[in-house]
Amino acid sequence: MLINCVAYREGKKLNDISIEEISDYLIIPGCFVWVALQNAELAELEKMHEEFDLHALAIEDAWHSHQRPKIEEYGDSVFAVMQLLEMDGDQLVIGEVDVFVGINYVLSVRNRSREGFLGVRARCEHEPHLLSQGSGFVLYALMDAVVDRYFPILDALETELENIEEHIFIKGSARSNIERLYALKRKVMVLKHAVAPLMEDTGKLHRGRVPLVCTHSQEYFRDVYDHLTHINASIDTIRDTIGTAIQVNLSMVAIEEGEVTKRLAAWAGLFGVATAFVGIWGMNFDVMPELRWRYGYPGALTVIALICGILYRRFKKAGWL
């Protein structure tokens, strides 16, 4: 589905144009066309392929989507894949935006995402002195918008981790805590997989041999790289904290199991003493000392109760009961 198709020249908007008019504006010196598609059909991608002379492999990646974040060069053009992450309740929804950038065009294809980039276009149009840098600045603006959306997700994950940590030492909550920690760990890994490859490839846009379309916007791409580095470091910190929290929870489980074992051992000791006495006095021997004693039965019960009471008091004092 076509979202918009606009022609710009020297940082200023010329016109909203149709797909059929794209080729007419591409030949105008200093002009570039910015097209935005959502959940594009193959026929639409083929049309863009024809208009902008896009590389066939890049078109194939955009059609199949579900690609690993990356930035690739095809001649004088750049193809960028970025993951769009959105929180839907407790779930992390993964979308994707594929951006094709050439000297005189920008094509963005957004898939499986509810949040668009109309704000990015408005921002660029309100900064004509920056938009005059050409399609490279549009690529920066799109990348910056995607990366900025990672920060609220990072904050949400940190908050969720803090909430779990507050329940770590609550008795009986270890199992639920571990389940929540592993669910959080999966979400952190989703964010990690979106950030780490993109951070690595963004370095290509501000240092070394920079693609031609990005030469006038290197310092802006360096800013994106710094943001990605910050997010990546925070993700690593969260992962380490999750690992520590899981170990603490496992230790709490072991401690609780130890408490249960001590209680069982204490009660087993009490019943063991009683069983021993009853077993001895219950044997069928004619010469047993208590056999002909009138008070032997209540006496035996008194001895059992007294010894069990002494053991109970000692176990209670030791914290086993």
Question: Mean pLDDT across the chain, nearest whole number?
Answer: 85
Query: For 28, which DSSP code?
Result: S
Q: Residue 219's Cα: distance from chain center in Å?
A: 28
Here the contacts of 53-60 (C-beta below 8 Å, separation 24 or greater) are: 54/100, 54/107, 55/79, 58/98, 58/100
Whether the Cβ atoms of residue 299 and residue 290 lie closer than 8 Å to each other = yes
Whether the Cβ atoms of residue 217 and residue 142 lie closer than 8 Å to each other = no
123 three-state secondary structure: helix
Whether the Cβ atoms of residue 72 and residue 79 lie closer than 8 Å to each other = yes
- 1-131 classified as CATH 1.10.3720.10: no
Distance CA 85, CA 98 (A): 14
Predicted confidence (pLDDT) per residue in 182-203, tens digit: 999 999 999 999 999 999 999 8
Could you tell me the pLDDT band of residue 165, with boundaries at 50, 70 and 90? confident
| Six token digits for residue 168 | 């770590």
Domains of the chain by residue range: 1-131, 258-318
Q: Which of residues 7 and 309 earns the better pLDDT score?
A: 7
Could you tell me the pLDDT band of residue 297, with boundaries at 50, 70 and 90? low
| Six token digits for residue 5 | 């198709």
Q: Which of residues 168 and 161 earns the better pLDDT score?
A: 161
Could you tell me the pLDDT band of residue 287, with boundaries at 50, 70 and 90? very low
Task: Name the CATH superfamily housing domain 258-318.
Answer: Magnesium transport protein CorA, transmembrane region (1.20.58.340)
DSSP 125-148: HT-HHHHTT-HHHHHHHHHHHHHH
- pLDDT higher than threshold 70 for residue 237: yes
- The mean pLDDT of 216-225, rounded to a whole number, is 90
| Exposure string over 189-218, b if 16+ CB within 10 A, otherwise e | ebbbebbbbbbebbebbbeeebbebbebbe
Pairing relationship of beta strands 31-38 and 70-74 according to DSSP bridges? unpaired
HSE of 199, CA atoms in CB hemisphere, 13 A: 16
Query: For 69, which DSSP code?
Result: P
Pairing relationship of beta strands 91-102 and 105-111 according to DSSP bridges? antiparallel
| Alpha-carbon dihedral 135, 139, 140, 142, rounded to 10 degrees | 130
Give 63's contacts (C-beta < 8 A, 6+ positions apart): 40, 42, 45
Torsion over CA: 234, 236, 239, 241 (sign): negative
Predicted confidence (pLDDT) per residue in 265-284, tens digit: 777 776 777 676 666 566 55
> What is the residue type of 269?
G
Whether the Cβ atoms of residue 51 and residue 119 lie closer than 8 Å to each other = no
Give 117's contacts (C-beta < 8 A, 6+ positions apart): 36, 97, 108, 110, 142, 145
- pLDDT higher than threshold 70 for residue 290: no
Predicted confidence (pLDDT) per residue in 247-261, tens digit: 888 887 776 766 667
